[in-house]
Amino acid sequence: GQNIDQPTEMTATEGAIVQINCTYQTSGFNGLFWYQQHAGEAPTFLSYNVLDGLEEKGRFSSFLSRSKGYSYLLLKELQMKDSASYLCAVDQRTGANNLFFGTGTRLTVIP
């Protein structure tokens, strides 16, 4: 079967670091995406990993281990505006190049 697991909710303090984990079992794998979605808004692209390792982009970093079916999104120097849902998605490359999304992790940043 296909599955993407993420924690449902997380809370972290402004200025801190938070790591959001994602594990996946999918029929195919051609890369893993992280999207940010603020309440009532459309998802916006954050990162894409296809090779093992860490990709850093400003305050956000994303890590992938294909052998372990595992990824994480690391957010540093948290700001209140980072409160949002973070969606892990796998590109299954089943012919449609479509993304299989997890249900997302709702992050709340507190002062």
Partner 1 sequence: GAGVSQSPSNKVTEKGKDVELRCDPISGHTALYWYRQSLGQGLEFLIYFQGNSAPDKSGLPSDRFSAERTGGSVSTLTIQRTQQEDSAVYLCASPLREESYNEQFFGPGTRLTVL
What part of residues 65-104 is at the interface with partner 1 (CB under 8 A)? 87, 89, 91, 94-104
Q: Mark residue 30 as left, alpha or beta (left: phi above 0; alpha: psi -120 to 50; beta: remaining).
A: alpha
10 Å CB burial of residue 13 (0-12, 13-18, 19+) is: exposed
User: If binding is defined by CB under 8 A, does position 22 make contact with partner 1?
Assistant: no
User: If binding is defined by CB under 8 A, does position 25 make contact with partner 1?
Assistant: no
Residue type, 33: F
Q: How far is the CB of 54 from partner 1 (least distance, A)?
A: 18
Interaction site with partner 1 (CB under 8 A): 4, 31, 33, 41-45, 48, 87, 89, 91, 94-104
